[in-house]
Structures are given as structure tokens and as C-alpha cells.
């Protein structure tokens, strides 16, 4: 099973997979295939990689920085594999792809977060990821749609 960059023609499948990810977390997705297609076309903002033919998994990641330390990396925003395709190493292949992209871009780390109740998250430890201490930073969000 090969991993490759997403194509605009994958947008509908990625939208379906995103809905599966959201359902897994008890959430809903308003992400459309049209939005995904435009993100695939905007190189650098958000990159998708897909696995399989037909596509049974995807990873969405973007560039991040620790500016004070001059460290650059990639943040994995989504990683999802269809339930019927799990246990075949697809998630690991997708993560390896991200790591290769980071190294090719001169970056020094890949970061991923997981829901505390996600039992699959221990797989990151088997891929040599180290669990960070719980984040004690306060986070703030302003919804710009409701504050013109």
C-alpha cells in the first residue's frame, strides 16, 4: 500500500473520511469536498497525504515553528484510517510519510496530539514518539465569524 500526496480528485473521499474521524470523536464535520480541493491546491497551508487505492486513510499536516528555538516542524492535524483497514500499518505509513517530508524540508520534529480517551494513541509510542507532559498553558480562541 503506497502513500502519496492527495489530489484534487481525492477531495470527496477525504471529506468522507473526515466525517468518519469526527463521528469517532462524537463530532460533526461541515468540511466540504470543495474546501478540501481548494486546500490541496494551496500548497503549504495544509497538506494531505492519502494511502491506498481506493483511499482508506489520510493524514493532514501543516508547518509549525518554535521560533525562539529556531526549530521548525510539521504538526499532524488529522490522521484517520477506515475501521476496516486498521491494523495493517497504514497509520504508521502515513506518519512515516510526514516524517520524511519534514526531514526533506530541513525540519527537526513532527508533533501530534491525541484525545486523552483515544486508545489508539499508544501507537505513537511504538513509532518512537515521546509523550509530552500535560500542557498547562491557557489557550484562548476568538471566533471571528461572530466578532466582525
Q: Where are the domains of the chain?
A: 3-116
pLDDT number for residue 136: 66
Contact 80, 17 (CB under 8 A): yes
Distance (Å, whole) CA 121 – CA 137: 22
Contact 126, 95 (CB under 8 A): no
- The residue written with cell numbers 489520510 in the block is 58
| Residue 134 banded pLDDT, cuts 50, 70, 90 | confident
- pLDDT above 70 for 43: no
- pLDDT above 80 for 92: yes
In 3-state terms, what secondary structure has residue 6? coil
Q: Which three cell numbers stand for residue 139?
A: 489557550
CATH topology of domain 3-116: Aminopeptidase (3.40.630)
Quick one: residue 106, left, alpha or beta (phi over 0 = left, psi -120 to 50 = alpha)? left
Amino acid at each position: 500500500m503506497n502513500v502519496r500526496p492527495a489530489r484534487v480528485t481525492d477531495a470527496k473521499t477525504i471529506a468522507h473520511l473526515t466525517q468518519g474521524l469526527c463521528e469517532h470523536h462524537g463530532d460533526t464535520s461541515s468540511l466540504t469536498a470543495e474546501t478540501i480541493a481548494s486546500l490541496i491546491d494551496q500548497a503549504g497551508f495544509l497538506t494531505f497525504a492519502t494511502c491506498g487505492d481506493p483511499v482508506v486513510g489520510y493524514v493532514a499536516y501543516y508547518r509549525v515553528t518554535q521560533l525562539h528555538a529556531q526549530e521548525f516542524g510539521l504538526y499532524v492535524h488529522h490522521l484517520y484510517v477506515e475501521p476496516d483497514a486498521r491494523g495493517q500499518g497504514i497509520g504508521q505509513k502515513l506518519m512515516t510519510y510526514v516524517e520524511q517530508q519534514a526531514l526533506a524540508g530541513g525540519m527537526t520534529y513532527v508533533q501530534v496530539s491525541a484525545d486523552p480517551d483515544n486508545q489508539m494513541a499508544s501507537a505513537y509510542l511504538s513509532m518512537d514518539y515521546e509523550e509530552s507532559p500535560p500542557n498547562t498553558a491557557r489557550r484562548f480562541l476568538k471566533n471571528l465569524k461572530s466578532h466582525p
